[in-house]
Structure 1
Amino acid sequence: MNTHDIWQSVLAEFELSPDISKANYNTWIKNTAIMEYNDNEVIICVPSTFVQAWLEKKYHTKIVNILERVTGKPIKKLTYKVGNLKNILPQDSQNTPILDSIEIKPQPPIKQFSVPCAGGVDKFGLNSKYVFGRYVVGSGSELAFAASQAVVNKPGEAYNPLFIYGGVGLGKTHLLQAIGNELLKKNPSLRIMYASAERFSNDFILSVKEGNAKTFQSQYRNVDLLLIDDIQFISGKDRTQESFFHTFNELHQQNKQVVMTSDRPPKAIPALEDRLKSRFEWGMIVDISPPDLETRIAVLQKKCAEMNFPLNPDIFPTIATTVHKNIRELEGALNKIIAFHQLKNIAPTTESVKSLLSSMEVHTRQKSTTPQGILDAICQFYEVPLQDILGSSREKRFSMPRQIVMHLMRKELNMSFPAIGNEMGGRDHTTAMHADHKIQNQIDNDPKLRQEVELIKQKLYVNNI
């Protein structure tokens, strides 16, 4: 067994390992190889110093264990070295481009690169660029991705309805439209309706004004697949909710698939009728959480490959650690970086990218908010009156939001505990301290609460952007 075969066995074990996500594998493990193997001492070729540091910190012991298992020999020493993977891999293994795996030397001024078309919109309103193959799956989106694929495999059976929720720019619309595109590919005669909840509401209102109820009903009910984006928009719209209730019932009774997206789970949508909340929970509810570092790097790598734009691997972490709220802002930052360097006709460097990021409003500086802004956001999210937040009731539906308010005042505004106590109706500083510590502990251990707090924070700053 030569060194290439040995490392392929190591890669296979990593790829099949249940505790390593696909994004982690693609980012840290995939683009590596054995550079030297002598006297049970191994040197691993890595694409960048960042990957080297990460492997040393996170996966060193696992790599040693797998190597010893594959070779049947003890590994005395394992080190990592940044190098050119093309010079190591056998020729027949280099057929697939490994843009993100090679060490890029200082380059002359760059040429203009062709950018693939963004994708066309078909008669159903589906954008052809939204397919599963272009979706980067991370630890925060694995379940949503798997559920979406299950719907494509068994529409109307697997999960009906499928309800996908999460913050802005995390890929909900991508998955929603990918379901439509994949099903249409399997069955071109399928009847699909894709619309935002706002459009559904506007179409309904127009049908009432013009007396075209039957046309409206036919448009949304005579379909095999109904895809509704941002369903939270129908909140507080009684007649629209009534119409959607009957639309949903008719489709569900006929085993027609319904998929919806929202910025929050059904029970957290204010002014949404209970009968709709219960129906939205009939099938599968999945969330998409903000991407972790590995996923953000994987997104950047994939985007650069799609745009045929070579970027030094060391630059990816620079972007990914600066822009971390959502995928949309991440891709937006990358597009600006590419456009800037093409316009200047210069090759990107870590220094030029850092300078550009620091001047971008897109990066993750905290936007300004106020104690009252936090109170308003919590009251709206949990549908709790302000007087109950500031009151003394110990009921969980009041005490939990109250503690989250104090936690956010501490974390987002860096307020002192006495100041927080004053804002909360003259409470003692120890109460604020207890609330902050309690919520932080629960966030660390409860994914559901962590998701809720992230959603609140996104809502908190959205009007200040």
Structure 2
Amino acid sequence: MPNMSPQDVWGQVVKALRLEIGEGPFSSYLEQARVRVGEDGDLFLVTPTAYARDWVDRNALRRINELWLALDEERRSLKARARAEYEAENPNAIETGTTPLVAQPTVAVVAADGPRAVRAAGLQERLTFDTFVSGKGNEFALTIARQVASWSEGPFNPVFFCGPYGYGKTHLLNAIAWEAQRLRPDARVVYLTAERFLSAFLRALKDKSIVAFKDELRSADLLLLDDVHFFAGKQSTQEELFHTLTALIEDGRRVVLAGDRPPSALTDFEPRLRSHLAAGLTCPVEPADRALRLAVVEKKLAALEGMKLVAGPARPELLSHLVDRTPGSIRELEGGLNTLAAAAGQRMSNLTVEEAQAYLSAGYRPTERRITVDEIQKVTADYYGLKQADLLSARRTRQVARPRQVAMYLCKQLTTRSYPDIGRRMGGRDHTTVLHGVRRIEALILEDEQIARDVEALTRKLRG
């Protein structure tokens, strides 16, 4: 049997790592990492920023190499590098396991001892209908998703799933992609996040390959586009999306989208695009109630048992404690269970609530102490050498505007306040201003190491 390529080894490592550390940390620090071969044949795990590299060094590199060495017959290990330092050290090296951006969206099917799906960039193998847990808040959305995936004729096009972050929209879009491709291997199914759509669009403009970009999307039989709220304020991208949707729908192709609010609330979108998005079926995905959250934990635990990571079912009171202690999204809940499984392992079935509390307090810390908008404003202003009144003022200089956006981002991450509520408390600003600020900081965290360090330091300070 030939040795596995670095790409294949990394694919196997990713599967285990995503389960172990949780979806949130994985998507934040490792989703964009790539394995590269240096000029001397050394292997490197390359992250977009030094901030992400530092996190990997502190929290994940040792475990990554344990998983890697168990699979790599050449017994090589990985070194973590930020992209800039890797390219400076290895100016003539090649990257392994990547393809051009425009070519990545397609979910292809090839024959190899029978049909098998090829994992597309951003499409996760574990997010299928079989692993989706249904309940009161998502039953309707699940029914519609299955209907779309079955290629059945219906009057609703496009379908727009909307709801808060972390409650299953991305899972549904992934499940639709896998099932639709399974039922029609000859069909062209394209899944994209809005961020990847934007990146590919901008690169196509720069490279003068916009025709190829348009053909890539408009030849899809089924287009699935996630996080469309990311397009707020991006006029040229909205125009391209409008024409793409028009072309697909007029040709009878299927379109499925997801965003954090319904089309009618996308006030920073062009009216004609907003109208287009609302013309089909708007399908809400509601926050999970306690029963659904408990069912999610039980199913996740069963999966961990099947992988031999834990032995036997956990005590019911332990699962209830985890559900009640973690009031955030389903992803946060799964992260808490991953922490317990990693810490307790085969002792999971005998773990007491008190022991679980100790593990969670040490390794996973959902916000128990209520952090207020006022507190975030004060701490952020002090950190940047400003007065709290500066953040609330009408001043738009960079010295004040960027800290204000950081405060908005922290308010959205660390409190349960809505965009309109945050806007009112940030000097009476419109919710679209808050949305723009939050999205701007989300982007800068990946691009600007100083902003990333600022956000991390402020988050630690606020959480104590």
TM-score normalised per structure 2? 0.54
Cα deviation for residue 367 of structure 1 reads 3.1
Q: Deviations over 1:30-59 (max 9, x none)?
A: xxxxxxxxxxxxxxxxxxxxxxxxxxxxxx
Indicate whether 1:323 and 2:320 are aligned.
no
Q: Which among 363, 371, 383 is matched to residue 367 of structure 1?
A: 371
Q: Which amino acid aligns with 1:314?
A: E
Q: 2 CA distance for matches of 1:345 and 1:171?
A: 26
Indicate whether 1:191 and 2:188 are aligned.
yes
- Higher Rg of the two aligned structures: 1
- Which ranges in structure 1 are unaligned for 5 or more consecutive residues? 1-118, 375-385, 388-407, 414-420, 426-454
Indicate whether 1:162 and 2:166 are aligned.
no
Q: 2 CA distance for matches of 1:120 and 1:179?
A: 13
2:237 alignment counterpart: 240
**What does 1:143-158 correspond to in 2, within 5 Å?**
143-154=140-151, 157-158=154-155
1:276 alignment counterpart: 273
**What does 1:314-393 correspond to in 2, within 5 Å?**
314-342=317-345, 347-359=350-362, 360-370=364-374
Cα deviation for residue 219 of structure 1 reads 0.9
Q: Which amino acid aligns with 2:271?
A: D
Which piece of structure 1 moves more, 223-232 or 304-313?
304-313
Cα deviation for residue 283 of structure 1 reads 1.1
CA gap of 1:159–1:412, structure 2 versus 1, over 3 A, is closer
Contact 2:225 2:256 in 1 (8 A): yes
Cα deviation for residue 131 of structure 1 reads 1.0
Cα deviation for residue 297 of structure 1 reads 0.7
Cα deviation for residue 296 of structure 1 reads 0.9
1:441 alignment counterpart: none
Q: 2 CA distance for matches of 1:344 and 1:195?
A: 40
Tell me, what secondary structure is at the counterpart of 1:307?
Answer: helix
Contact 1:156 1:257 in 2 (8 A): no
CA gap of 1:346–1:266, structure 2 versus 1, over 3 A, is closer
**What does 1:185-334 correspond to in 2, within 5 Å?**
185-308=182-305, 309=310, 310-334=313-337
Contact 2:159 2:282 in 1 (8 A): yes
CA gap of 1:320–1:345, structure 2 versus 1, over 3 A, is closer
Q: 2 CA distance for matches of 1:214 and 1:248?
A: 16
Cα deviation for residue 137 of structure 1 reads 0.8
Contact 2:225 2:257 in 1 (8 A): yes
Q: 2 CA distance for matches of 1:295 and 1:200?
A: 32
Q: 2 CA distance for matches of 1:422 and 1:137?
A: 36
**What does 1:391-430 correspond to in 2, within 5 Å?**
none
Cα deviation for residue 288 of structure 1 reads 1.6
Number of aligned residue pairs: give it: 279
**What does 1:65-80 correspond to in 2, within 5 Å?**
none
Tell me, what secondary structure is at the counterpart of 1:227?
Answer: strand
1:129 alignment counterpart: 126
Q: For the aligned residues, what is the CA RMSD? A: 3.8
Tell me, what secondary structure is at the counterpart of 1:260?
Answer: strand
Q: Deviations over 1:168-215 (max 9, x none)?
A: 211110001101111111111110111111111111111111111111
Q: Which amino acid aligns with 2:243?
A: H
CA gap of 1:371–1:155, structure 2 versus 1, over 3 A, is farther
CA gap of 1:295–1:121, structure 2 versus 1, over 3 A, is farther
Cα deviation for residue 326 of structure 1 reads 1.0
Q: Which amino acid aligns with 1:142?
A: E
Give percent identity, aligned residues only: 33
Contact 2:151 2:180 in 1 (8 A): no
Indicate whether 1:142 and 2:139 are aligned.
yes
Q: 1 CA distance for matches of 2:426 and 2:274?
A: 34
Which ranges of 4 or more aligned residues in structure 1 deviate by more than 6 Å? 343-346, 371-374, 421-425
- Which ranges in structure 2 are unaligned for 5 or more consecutive residues? 1-115, 379-391, 394-411, 418-423, 429-434, 443-454, 460-464
